[in-house]
Amino acid sequence: MPLSNITVPALARAIEKRGYETLTPVQSAILASELRDADLLVSAQTGSGKTVAFGLALAHTLLGGKDRFEQARDPLALIIAPTRELAMQVKAEIQWLYAEAGGVVASCVGGMDARDERRALDRGAHIVVGTPGRLVDHLHRGSLLLTSLKAVVLDEADEMLNLGFREELEFILDTAPAERRTLMFSATMPRAMATLAGKYQRAAQRVNTISAARQHSDIEYLALTAGAHDTENAIFNVLRYHDAANALVFCGTRAAVTHLQSRFSNRGFSVVALSGELSQKERTYALQALRDHRANVCIATDVAARGLDLPDLDLVIHADLPKNPEALLHRSGRTGRAGRKGTSVLIVPYPARRRTERLLRDAKIEARWSEPPSADEVKRRDQERLLDDAALSDPITADERVIVSALLERHDVDQIAAAFARLYRKGQPAPEELMAAPANAQHPARPAPRPQGFEHSAWVTLTVGYAQKAEPRWLIPMICKAGGITKRDIGTIRIEDRVTHVELNAAAVDAFFTHLDAGGRIEKNIVATPMRTDAQPDQRQHPQRQQRSERPERPQRQDRPNRPERGERPVRPGHNERPAQEARRGKPPTGKHPAGAKPPKGKPNKKKKAWRPAD
């Protein structure tokens, strides 16, 4: 759609100054005349210009046909975003869009000084952008008044619901005037968001500009399989191979972010981190470092998966697999924005192959399966970049002619070329050597069925046993990591006092010992040696349990003679006859209570005399 369709001249001038030539599909769809005053439920692809889209959609509602705002008092529009970074980014976009119209934009986000925000609200603002928690705080304190509000925008509404902001959103929407426009934007439309829309929107118009065929057209998806212990090296080689201007690496936890940031910084990358545990100042610094190209790799949790627009972001790496298709979509959507091409790489451990296939299928994504770049492939890629470097094709200036002549006088051409190559490679981290994939992990469509009874096998003896507290739960990962095999290659494990016998698939035995050193050392004090064929245990020689019918019957218990009555027993010689005599007199035996008598309270004291009835 041409820019002439923008009905507010001030916004049209701002769009033209920004360098826009045409509007994106979502921006064009939202300017339809029949949607001018309607509540909207919009689904749009990430990176499609949603912020400018709802900025244009609000213009007629806020300005009422005028070209400029009147003096700012209470806010006329409220824009709610799930994260601080997204809220600040939205504020920056709305500010330049409404600058020609005299719009005043204020922000209310967590992590910033609330006193400065209150002062900005007291001075007056036409549009307020904020996060749910901080907006509710200002409403409770009375510093934010919504009596003049004409429109509310929920950006990334599904993510706010996922983050647990439902109560805050409902409080804000219940506080806002009933006669208002409510616009909800998101890339997905889960059931919870549809329920919220049904409760707070009036005859909302559905706008969907996502096309399944075009949703991922600007992003190339790669699924690279690697051993679970080799994922860090795989990520490292992917970064070196692509050499992107900016790259974003997603991790599942804050601890993983901290770990990878430390490891990659030690390897020579300019790395920043982005996670929820960082202060707002630290997060702002990280984003600014990426925009200024002082850093080229950002390691982040999913806090960076929504709405952030990082310039020159060509590569997204999923160090930990996304939990669902929506997370995959939003993570990958940080690249391939506004017509730019991007690459999204999933690092897939061998056991997670099937789960990743289901994830891609549910997200309707076609990915190219392969292996991470090897060290040799990274070096060849470096050589290609060196040969294609623009410095070799740019014209030689007059100042450069002087130094070129001096170099040729002192050194031959080969020496100068070698010096150029050394300078080009200086500071580049050396690529990592990756372990070869196991024989049965070469991208199987389905896991190969395990042989019946594990007949084709060989036995290996480990110098660890019960004395060293050996258990399968830590033996199996140790064997797989050291020998480059998977747990499907491991059969029976028999732990003895000082050694452990492990059954391996015969096809994996050679690869297992190839990964170990010459002495077969797995860890510091654990060595693996192959067992002789004649000494291998046979797991089929266990004695079978006898059937119940085959077990011998128990011998019949002989009847015992009847016990004589107590009164008929003979008295042993020298036996104290006092208890029997007292019983005949009606007295209880020593230490026993007569019928009907209450026992003494507390525990009996052996030092006290035995209890006797009162006279």
Q: For residues 95 and 80, give the distance between their C-alpha atoms in angstroms, rounded to a whole number.
A: 15
Cα 294 to Cα 291: distance, rounded to the nearest angstrom? 8
Q: How confident is the model at residue 387 (pLDDT cuts 50, 70, 90)?
A: confident
State residue 516's pLDDT score. Answer: 84
pLDDT at 548 over 50: no
Predicted confidence band of residue 398 (pLDDT cuts 50, 70, 90)? confident
Residue 309 has pLDDT above 80, yes or no: no
Question: At 345, is the pLDDT very low, low, confident or very high (cuts 50, 70, 90)?
Answer: very high
Output b/e per residue, 105-122; b: 16+ Cβ within 10 A: bbbbbbebebeebbebbe
Task: List residues bridging with 369 in a β-sheet.
Answer: 223
Torsion of CA 482, 487, 492, 497, to 10 degrees: 40
| Class of domain 3-208 as given by CATH | alpha beta
Range in 10-14, 92-96, 156-160, 577-581 with the lowest mean pLDDT: 577-581
Asked whether residue 106 carries a pLDDT value surpassing 70, the answer given is yes
Which of the pair, 534 or 54, is modelled with greater confidence? 54
SS3 303: helix
Tell me the fold of 219-373.
Answer: Rossmann fold (3.40.50)
Cβ–Cβ < 8 Å for 125, 72: yes
Asked if the domains 3-208 and 219-373 are classified in one and the same CATH topology, the answer is: yes
Coil, helix or strand for 505?
Answer: strand
- pLDDT tens for each residue of 36-88: 889 999 887 666 788 888 999 999 899 888 889 999 889 999 999 988 888 98
pLDDT for res 431:
86
What is the rounded CA–CA span in Å between residue 470 and residue 479?
A: 12
pLDDT at 347: 95
Residue 118 pLDDT exceeds 80: yes
pLDDT digits (tens, 9 = 90+) for 159-175: 788 778 889 999 999 99
Cβ(459)–Cβ(410) below 8 Å: no
pLDDT band (50, 70, 90) for residue 346: very high
The DSSP output letter for 281 is H
Per-residue confidence at 109, pLDDT binned at 50, 70, 90?
very high
pLDDT tier, 615 (very low <50, low <70, confident <90, very high otherwise): very low
Residue 123 pLDDT level (bands cut at 50, 70, 90) = very high
pTM of the complete model: 0.57
**454-531: CATH number:** 3.30.70.330
If residue 459 lies in a helix (H) or strand (E), which one and from where to where?
Answer: strand 457-462
Can you give the pLDDT at residue 448?
Answer: 46
Lowest mean pLDDT among 214-228, 245-259, 597-611: 597-611
Helix (H) or strand (E) holding 221: strand 219-226
pLDDT band at 453 (very low <50, low <70, confident <90, very high): very low
Report the alpha-carbon distance of residue 314 to residue 238 in Å, rounded. Answer: 12
* Predicted pLDDT of residue 102: 93
Higher pLDDT, 532 or 526: 526
Delimit the domains of the chain by residue range.
3-208, 219-373, 379-425, 454-531
257: its two tokens? 């972010």
pLDDT score of 552 more than 80: no
pLDDT tens digits, 17-39: 888 878 888 888 888 888 888 99
Other CB atoms within a 10 A radius of the CB of residue 240 amount to 23
In this structure, what DSSP letter does residue 2 have? B
Q: What is the pLDDT of residues 245-303, one digit of tens each?
A: 889 999 988 889 989 998 888 888 899 998 877 877 888 888 888 888 888 899 998 87
pLDDT of residue 284: 81
Contact call for residues 388 and 454 (beta carbons, < 8 A): no
Mean pLDDT for the stretch of residues 573-584: 52
534 falls in which pLDDT band (50, 70, 90)?
A: low
Return the pLDDT at 212.
Answer: 45
Q: How far is CA 91 from CA 59, 128, 251, in A?
A: 15, 8, 27
CB-based contacts of 236: which residues, under 8 Å, 6+ apart?
A: 264, 267, 429, 431, 432
Q: The tokens 């000082």 sit on which residue?
A: 498
pLDDT over 80 at 323, yes or no:
yes
pLDDT of 609 higher than 80 = no
Q: What is the pLDDT of residue 446?
A: 46
Q: Which of 106-110, 304-308, 521-525 tops mean pLDDT?
A: 106-110
Q: Each residue of 124-135: pLDDT tens digit?
A: 999 999 999 999
- pLDDT average, residue stretch 461-471: 86
pLDDT at 242 over 70: yes
